[in-house]
């Protein structure tokens, strides 16, 4: 495989058409070597439009989803970032090139070691990997300018929103199968938050963020990926090269938010809820309110 040609094709045929137009993001994808973060058995899938299996049943998100989330977070050089769900460490490496400091949390000890090794090898000195439960964040080290949940959640816990600085952003894939949406939350004041739905997609659930009815004992704060074998992965890779059949086979319905995602963010619908935090824990009560309303959190 011609690695550089495959990387170019990934950027130009998968990522750019998915409304990732920020040149700093596109250039970064050419600099940070994605294949260095993929397990050797799945190296052939490094540039394919699919999730890549990782040790412990976890996975990397598809390249275009990673790139789009990175663009929408719009991380600046002075900002501190918290990531929940380290995976291979690839997203943390991208974030470290954009921000001042990245703390990434992974509950699976083996996966945390795998990510730490990958990050050290690529020279990502501004990333700290924490083997810890990421579902509660790091309130003792907050607030943060940016928080990324690298997987899907049924809803964003109020405790994580509370760890944003005013002006801070949190990105997550929110919802239930078959409908999930990447959503950007922005803290506009001490008690006010706005949320904008960016694009439709489907992603594996971050472990520890399941619905109460579906919660099972097990690790928390890592990304659970459906089991795959290399032969099946290669078959999906061929389908993806033929026009995205791999995504269709998994029932994904992924659609860009529009030709100009930043305009869509300004004018798009706002999902609004009222949330209250107390010493007893978070008690969310959700309701839909007309666009341009805001999310208020009692802290």
Spans of the chain below 70 pLDDT: 211-299
Q: What pLDDT is stored for residue 226 in this prediction?
A: 55
Q: What pLDDT is stored for residue 25 in this prediction?
A: 98
The predicted-structure confidence for 89-132, as pLDDT tens digits, reads as follows 999 999 999 999 999 999 899 999 999 999 999 999 999 999 99
Q: What pLDDT is stored for residue 193 in this prediction?
A: 97
Residues 214, 216, 220, 226: what is their CA dihedral angle, to the nearest 10 degrees? -70
Spatial separation of the C-alpha atoms in residues 77 and 146, rounded to whole Å: 12
Q: What pLDDT is stored for residue 180 in this prediction?
A: 96
Q: What pLDDT is stored for residue 1 in this prediction?
A: 81
Q: Is residue 278 part of a domain?
A: no
Say if residue 66 is preceded by a cis peptide, omega within 30 of 0.
no
**Domain total for the chain?**
1
Residues with Cβ within 8 Å of residue 223, at least 6 apart in sequence: 54, 58, 59, 61, 85, 87, 150, 151, 204, 205, 206, 207
Do residues 115 and 56 make contact, with C-beta atoms less than 8 angstroms apart?
no
Spatial separation of the C-alpha atoms in residues 282 and 270, rounded to whole Å: 22
Q: Is residue 290 part of a domain?
A: no
Q: Which of 151, 133, 280, 154 is nearest to 212 (CA)?
A: 154
Task: Determine the structural domain holding residue 192 and report its residue range.
Answer: 3-267
Q: Is residue 161 part of a domain?
A: yes
Residues with Cβ within 8 Å of residue 140, at least 6 apart in sequence: none
Do residues 1 and 44 make contact, with C-beta atoms less than 8 angstroms apart?
yes
CATH number reported for the structural domain that contains residue 209 in this entry: 3.40.50.150
Question: What angle separates helix 90-98 from helix 63-73, to the nearest 10 degrees?
Answer: 30
Do residues 187 and 168 make contact, with C-beta atoms less than 8 angstroms apart?
yes
> Which tokens sit at 25?
């993001």
Q: How many CB atoms lie within 10 A of CB 36?
A: 16
Q: Is residue 275 part of a domain?
A: no
Question: Three-state SS for 239?
Answer: helix
Q: Is residue 286 part of a domain?
A: no
Q: Is residue 144 part of a domain?
A: yes
Q: Kindly report the pTM of this predicted structure.
A: 0.77
The predicted-structure confidence for 238-263, as pLDDT tens digits, reads as follows 333 433 433 333 334 444 444 444 43
Spatial separation of the C-alpha atoms in residues 233 and 272, rounded to whole Å: 39
Sign (positive/negative) of CA torsion 172, 90, 247, 258?
A: positive
> Which tokens sit at 178?
């078959």
Q: Is residue 96 part of a domain?
A: yes
Q: What pLDDT is stored for residue 223 in this prediction?
A: 59
Q: Is residue 285 part of a domain?
A: no
């Amino acid at each position: 495989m011609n690695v550089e040609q495959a990387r170019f094709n990934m950027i130009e045929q998968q990522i750019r058409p998915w409304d990732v137009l920020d040149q700093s993001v596109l250039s970064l994808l050419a600099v940070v070597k994605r294949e260095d973060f993929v397990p050797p058995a799945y190296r052939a899938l490094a540039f394919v439009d699919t999730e890549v299996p990782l040790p412990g049943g976890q996975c990397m998100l598809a390249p275009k989803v990673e790139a789009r989330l990175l663009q929408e977070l719009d991380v600046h050089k002075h900002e501190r970032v918290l990531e929940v769900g380290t995976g291979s460490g690839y997203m943390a490496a991208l974030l470290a090139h954009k921000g001042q400091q990245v703390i990434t949390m992974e509950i699976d000890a083996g996966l945390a070691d795998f990510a730490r090794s990958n990050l050290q090898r690529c020279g990502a000195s501004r990333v700290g990997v924490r083997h810890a439960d990421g579902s509660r964040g790091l309130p003792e080290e907050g607030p943060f300018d940016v928080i990324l949940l690298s997987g899907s959640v049924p809803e964003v816990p109020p405790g994580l929103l509370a760890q944003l600085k005013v002006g801070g952003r949190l990105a997550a894939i929110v919802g239930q199968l078959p409908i999930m949406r990447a959503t950007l939350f922005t803290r506009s004041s001490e008690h006010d938050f706005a949320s904008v739905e960016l694009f439709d997609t489907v992603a594996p659930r971050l472990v520890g963020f399941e619905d109460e009815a579906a919660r099972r004992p097990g690790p928390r704060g890592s990304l659970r990926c459906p089991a795959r074998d290399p032969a099946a992965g290669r078959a999906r890779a061929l389908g993806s090269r033929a026009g995205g059949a791999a995504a269709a086979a998994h029932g994904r319905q992924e659609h860009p938010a529009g030709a100009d995602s930043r305009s869509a963010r300004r004018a798009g619908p706002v999902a609004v809820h009222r949330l209250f935090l107390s010493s007893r824990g978070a008690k969310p009560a959700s309701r839909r309110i007309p666009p341009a309303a805001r999310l208020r959190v009692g802290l």
